């Protein structure tokens, strides 16, 4: 029996960094071991038209890339891109698109329907509140592009029940929707005491200084400004020498966040670490005592929260999207979005607990994550979905 050809369509893909890209990568490399030949079709953001990532073939379509500088990646495929979609859909057994609002997903669905191929669509996030005119644009796009992409799908996969409610509000039949929780790379993200000590030494974190970490793309919806405002309150409460806030990530709001830090006099207490390669992220989780997810909206099931938990970190998160579905009682807390005072109070509650051993809540929390968030289990069900449709 030969390999099953799978065409995966995404608005962007690696080396561009993001949650959707990571999900496609984690699923794709495991599908290669399940007798699938995976081809990723995505927008062209670099000079190469074709390349590969750990065995995953990638072919790029030409597009006009709107909104990228604002943190809203929305490529508009050119007419010349139709041949890329047509060829890859025609030559595959199953088409799997990611993200209902993208024109790339709509094209994938249309070509899948034309060639009689099964079409699976994964939706990752809930509605994103931009607090400006983009909300109107997003709602119009949902009704025109998103609703049609969902209508074309034989199966809609969502990463949380919150995301399920979102797609149901756009008219999808409940019988067509399945919740499939994201996983976490348990080999890469795990408690490592030696790494913790080395990282704290590298950044001059001495004694019982507490490290509070967030890993976020620096855009409005991810709430890094709220994180910094909460840091100001915590530093005032705990003292300047007792806590360090670390922000891993980059994005269009980098300069405004830097100005916010300076204006609040937090240069010694807030570190903007910038971009960190995925291979190094585990070291930052292990350095920290607490992980914070300060999002304002749009969360489906954030991978960074699962990664932090796999490393034994308790999580304080804003109650948006699907994050409440993976929080573990006793190892985290939910707070209202965009409420830095309440967020600061929750942070103080966790980092004030004695943590001198560096062990944190690692063992028990790690065991829960191993049981509940496996990429192997995720992909096993995904294969079943494909086989049901072929």
- Cβ–Cβ under 8 Å, residues 284 and 247: no
DSSP notation for 142-208: IIIIIHHHHHH-SEEEESSHHHHHHHHTTT--GGGEEE----B-TTTSS--HHHHHHHHHHTT--TT
Instruction: Examine the pLDDT at 239 and tell me if it is beyond 80.
Output: no
Instruction: Determine the Cα–Cα distance for residues 180 and 202; give it in Å rounded to an integer.
Output: 39
Predicted confidence (pLDDT) per residue in 70-127, tens digit: 778 899 999 999 999 999 999 999 999 999 999 999 999 999 999 999 999 999 999 9
Q: At 61, which helix (H) or strand (E)?
A: strand 56-61
Of the chain, the percentage scoring pLDDT greater than 70 comes to 97
pTM above 0.85, yes or no: yes
pLDDT band at 361 (very low <50, low <70, confident <90, very high): low
Domain 193-372 in CATH: superfamily?
Answer: Glycogen Phosphorylase B; (3.40.50.2000)
pLDDT band at 47 (very low <50, low <70, confident <90, very high): confident
Predicted confidence (pLDDT) per residue in 347-359, tens digit: 999 988 754 444 5
- Cβ–Cβ under 8 Å, residues 269 and 237: no
Q: Report pLDDT for 364.
A: 87
CATH architecture of 4-183+374-389: 3-Layer(aba) Sandwich (3.40)
| Nearest alpha-carbon partner for 73 in 98, 48, 54, 36 | 98
For the segment 157-171, the average pLDDT, to the nearest whole number, is 97
- Cβ–Cβ under 8 Å, residues 264 and 240: no
Task: Show the 3-state SS of 231-275.
Answer: HHHHHHHHCCCCEEEEEECCCCCHHHHHHHHHHCCCCCCEEEEEC
**4-183+374-389 shares its CATH topology with 193-372:** yes
Instruction: Examine the pLDDT at 32 and tell me if it is beyond 50.
Output: yes
Q: Report pLDDT for 354.
A: 59
CA dist 304 → 53, 214, 320 (Å): 21, 9, 15
pLDDT band at 130 (very low <50, low <70, confident <90, very high): confident
Q: Report pLDDT for 356.
A: 42
For the segment 199-216, the average pLDDT, to the nearest whole number, is 94
The residue extents of the domains of the chain are 4-183+374-389, 193-372
């Amino acid at each position: 029996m030969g390999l099953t050809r799978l065409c995966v369509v995404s608005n962007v893909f690696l080396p561009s960094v993001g949650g959707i890209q990571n999900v496609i990568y984690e699923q794709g490399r495991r599908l290669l071991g399940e007798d699938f030949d995976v081809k990723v079709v995505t927008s062209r953001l670099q000079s190469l038209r074709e390349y590969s990532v750990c065995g995953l073939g990638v072919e790029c379509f030409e597009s006009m890339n709107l909104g990228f500088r604002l943190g809203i990646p929305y490529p508009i495929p050119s007419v010349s891109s139709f041949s890329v979609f047509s060829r890859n859909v025609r030559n595959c057994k199953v088409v799997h698109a990611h993200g209902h609002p993208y024109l790339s997903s709509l094209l994938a669905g249309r070509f899948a329907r034309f060639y009689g191929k099964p079409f699976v669509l994964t939706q990752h996030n809930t509605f994103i509140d931009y607090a400006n005119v983009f909300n109107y644009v997003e709602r119009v796009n949902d009704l025109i592009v998103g609703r049609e992409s969902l209508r074309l799908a034989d199966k809609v996969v969502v990463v949380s029940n919150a995301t399920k409610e979102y797609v149901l509000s756009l008219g999808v039949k409940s019988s067509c929707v399945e919740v499939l929780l994201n996983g976490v790379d348990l080999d890469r993200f795990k408690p490592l005491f030696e790494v913790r000590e080395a990282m704290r030494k590298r950044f001059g974190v001495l004694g019982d200084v507490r490290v509070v970490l967030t890993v976020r793309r620096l855009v409005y919806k991810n709430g890094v400004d709220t994180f910094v405002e909460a840091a100001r309150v915590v530093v005032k409460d705990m003292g300047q020498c007792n806590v360090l806030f670390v922000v891993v990530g980059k994005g269009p709001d980098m300069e405004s966040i830097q100005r916010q830090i300076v204006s609040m006099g937090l240069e010694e207490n807030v570190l903007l670490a910038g971009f960190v390669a995925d291979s190094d992220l585990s070291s930052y989780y292990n350095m920290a005592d607490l992980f914070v997810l300060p999002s304002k909206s749009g969360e489906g099931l954030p991978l960074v929260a699962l990664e932090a938990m796999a490393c034994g970190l308790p999580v304080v998160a804003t109650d948006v999207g699907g994050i409440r579905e993976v929080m573990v009682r006793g190892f985290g807390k939910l707070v209202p979005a965009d409420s830095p005072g309440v967020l600061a109070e929750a942070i103080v509650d966790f980092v004030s607990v004695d943590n001198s051993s560096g062990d944190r809540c690692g063992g028990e929390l790690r065991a829960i994550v191993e049981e509940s968030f496996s990429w192997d289990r995720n992909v096993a069900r995904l294969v079943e979905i494909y086989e049901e449709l072929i």
